[in-house]
Amino acid sequence: MANLVVVGAQWGDEGKGKIVDILTERADVVARFQGGHNAGHTVVVDDEEFILHLIPSGILHEGTTCVIGNGVVVDPKALISEIRELEGRGIRVEGRLYVSNKAHVIMPYHVAIDQGSEQSKGSDKIGTTGRGIGPCYVDKMGRSGIRAGDLLRPEDLRAKLEKNLGWVNVVLKELYGAKPFDVGALHAEYLKFAEDLAPFIADVSPRLFSAMDSGKHLLLEGAQGTLLDVDHGTYPFVTSSSPTAGGACTGLGIGPNHIHGVLGITKAYTTRVGSGPFPTEQDNDLGQALRKKGGEYGATTGRARRCGWLDMVAVRYAVRTNSLTGLAITKLDVLDDLEEIKVCTAYKLNGKTIDSFPYDAESLARVEPVYETLPGWKQSTVGVVNFDKLPAVAQDYIRYIEKATGVPVDMVSTGKKRSETIILRDPFKA
């Protein structure tokens, strides 16, 4: 038995979907532990593209069980749509996907509050996707949330909706000038969702422990990335959950002793979506070139990603925060055309050089990156599957990252396809 956590080591969008898809060949269970349908994974299998938002990409492997944990917030309409899309393309979902009965449910009023709140902030927007993720987590922490298991109890669901809408409608009307919700209509709509989701809602914890007791491999998948963690990220420009490795325990009900390795995913450069500080951002022709070649547009929202050089200060912070045991480098091929490559090794803040990641977004917004310039390889790495076949300078770049982080590189992605990957170490065995 080996249980592996996979997390993003940057601001999300690191290419976790492809890496998880590859690792699923070794996993018996793939479990998502936080976030909502604001995340997205794009996986290419035999030239066929799949975009997944809530369901783990392990669903593309027949025989793999997929779990949506209690740490995830679920929009029933989005989940049902995703299930139908997969089934319409010949992927069997029922009997292979289980949604925790403790997972909190996104309601339409969460979306209305999310959008109203963002609009009211003006230039101080956080940059949320407006899909109700944050307000749903607010209700969870405020102990007024509705959970997936509640959908299967009509009377309890009605009572909770009546209680919540008593204050929600006041907020929507008085604060945001938005239309209030009708209890009866909302109750009826979600009872229909419950009919579709009833075969999937379950107490997932016993299933996970049964799998572990049977000696099976578990792959525990986070959305977003370390620098968007609500506690450890660039607050307040963060998500509303814990996409770091610790979130796997609270988001699935598994103790730390059952975690055997943590794989961090990082691009060969850096990207960020939405507002917030980004020290190595290249808001210029280089950034545009990286965006174009890397296809840097959100799988869920289509928003253009901000692009910049690899930030080793941030990656080292992710190494420490997650206790990473290995790294996977994605999109190496995007750097193929560059004459030289810069890597941020430290920051200058208030005239002093620092090599640690500031705790606050205000300080991070003021830092100046200290760069080391490395040679580019000016050769195509697309589709290379053997490390020794990479250009020598590209090999040096990977080894440079290993030395700078103190963590071995287990995998290197050299293209979109599942097959375009170099495996240096098996993360499960490592």
Q: Tell me the residue ranges of DSSP E strands in 9-112.
A: 29-32, 41-45, 48-52, 65-68, 73-74, 97-100, 104-105
* 244, 310 Cβ separation under 8 angstroms: no
Hey, which residues does 35 pair with through a beta bridge? 72
Q: Which residues of 182-221 are buried (b: 16+ CB within 10 A; e: fewer)?
A: ebeebbeebeebbeebeebbbebbebbeebbeeebbbbbb
Whole-number Å distance between alpha carbons of 167 and 148 = 22
List the one residue out of 127, 75, 120 whose CA is nearest residue 99. 75
Q: Is 13 a catalytic residue?
A: yes
Whole-number Å distance between alpha carbons of 427 and 326 = 7
Query: Encoding tokens for residue 422?
Result: 């170099």
Hey, which residues does 423 pair with through a beta bridge? 411
Report residue 76: phi and psi, to 5°: -55, -40
Catalytic choice (21, 28, 37, 41): 41
* 308, 271 Cβ separation under 8 angstroms: yes
Secondary element (H or E) of residue 353:
strand 352-354
Question: Looking at residue 180, what DSSP letter applies?
Answer: P
Hey, which residues does 413 pair with through a beta bridge? 421
Count the neighbouring beta carbons within 10 Å of the beta carbon of residue 317: 19
Query: Encoding tokens for residue 34?
Result: 């936080």
**Tokens 């990479």, located at residue:** 390
Catalytic choice (13, 75, 139, 410): 13
DSSP string covering 293-362: HHT-B-TTT-PBPEEE-EEHHHHHHHHHHHT-SEEEEE-GGGGTT-SEEEEEEEEEETTEEE-S--SSHH
Any idea which residues carry the catalytic annotation? 13, 41
